[in-house]
Chains A and B, each alone.
Chain A
């Protein structure tokens, strides 16, 4: 499976978040999106997930154009965002059970418990999420995102709140879903930490998205200058002139 995004632009009313961004993602590939706070990473993730409609841009799945707004697309995506998406007055298992039903997955009680065990929450499975710590909620969020075996995983800072053990579990899970042929788009403020599972880096800077720098066995120390250098040149070429997308919406 190959997902291609071409010519993606998104203005947030007055603010240009992404301009003319293109990238592609293959089965089993994990791409890490870099960018400073407020650079628009989250917005780009929301657009890619289909939650936010872009102003411009075309999306192709295996060469055929698709609408990211369609339910077929959305239901193939697994999401981990900053907010946990969990219901505080339901237990861990009940939260998973709810989404299992929404996705029509027909998981048995046993399978749900296995999924919860996988992220190390077995002992808390039947407690209300309200009393979970942030790290535990994050683990459950990850279990929830993987529940329906999504073909595309979109993770925005998934390591937030996770302790060492939690991070290890997440790394294992990422390696696993890659093996199963899912594609992963991830943002992280600490790219070195996820380097072992990462296949490529791209960076969002001043509304411009860089080319993907593929890892090809190199270490993060070797790649770091490449990722940032490429970006600086790209930004210089595409510096916003104040025109372009701005007035377009006025018709």
Chain B
């Protein structure tokens, strides 16, 4: 078990160090996210009351689309240099490769969220730093990147790659989308905890299920 965690740590460190050096994923994700926020402004010039209700939806769509952009790159290093093979040979348990990638993707998603929220707050003059809203995004992002990490590990090995990821990912993400947007509306319109706690539970359950399945089936993704 101790070995398992050390392997995990080494793999996550490898991903983050590479990302820190190149900043490939994060820069394009952030640029895309902030541009999208601008576009939303022109697409729907809203009066402040409607804006409050739509904030959760806009934020989540922006995060999800930029997140997908990043997921497309996340296995590129492994695919291009063939390091999947080297990792499979080295690790005691193949599932740890998935978990490490999931954790690094998740951390990058969190950075994206942490930067996107204040930008939205400034642009649209609305405070989004409500604890419940943050909890909900943090849970939603886990489910998103869990499904996304598993699916992108497959699409990166197909002919269509980037084209395929959103097509495969968005249908299975439907519950997360509904839950994040609904709960966000509840939180930001000042409704009580009991009105949206069920959505939080859905996010939790979804995250747990996706994580479990991924750990179970990842073996079949990278081993032939």
Contacts and interface: CB of A to CB of B under 8 A. Distances in A.
Interface string A44-85: 001001111100000000000000010100110101011111
Chain B interface size range: 20 to 34
Interface stretch (B13-21, B115-123, B189-197): B13-21
Contacts of A86: 81, 83
A108 interface: no
Contacts of A49: 89
B14 A53 contact: no
A108 B21 CA distance: 24
Interface stretch (A31-39, A88-96, A207-215, A220-228): A88-96
A107 B1 CA distance: 20
A110 B224 CA distance: 37
A193 interface: no
Could you tell me the dominant secondary structure of chain A's interface residues? loop
Interface string B171-187: 00000000000000000
Given A101-B10, A104-B3, A84 B90 contact: no
Given A87-B14, A89-B22, A90-B17, A102 B82 contact: no
A205 B178 CA distance: 57
A94 B11 CA distance: 12
A77 B91 CA distance: 12
B48 interface: no
B21 to A, nearest CB: 4
Interface in B58-98: 77, 81-83, 85-93
Nearest to A69: B223
B49 interface: no
Contact of B81 (A50, A52, A84): A84
A135 B114 CA distance: 43
Nearest to A128: B21
A104 B22 CA distance: 27
B6 A101 contact: yes
B7 interface: yes
Interface in B143-201: none
A98 interface: yes
Contacts of A52: 224
B93 A71 contact: yes
A103 to B, nearest CB: 6
Contact of B85 (A79, A94, A128): A79
A51 B89 contact: yes
B83 A102 contact: no
A99 interface: yes
Given A71-B93, A79-B86, A101-B7, A87 B18 contact: yes
5 contacts: A51-B88, A71-B91, A84-B82, A101-B10, A103-B90
Given A53-B223, A83-B81, A85-B82, 7 more contacts: A79-B86, A87-B77, A89-B21, A102-B91, A103-B90, A104-B6, A128-B21
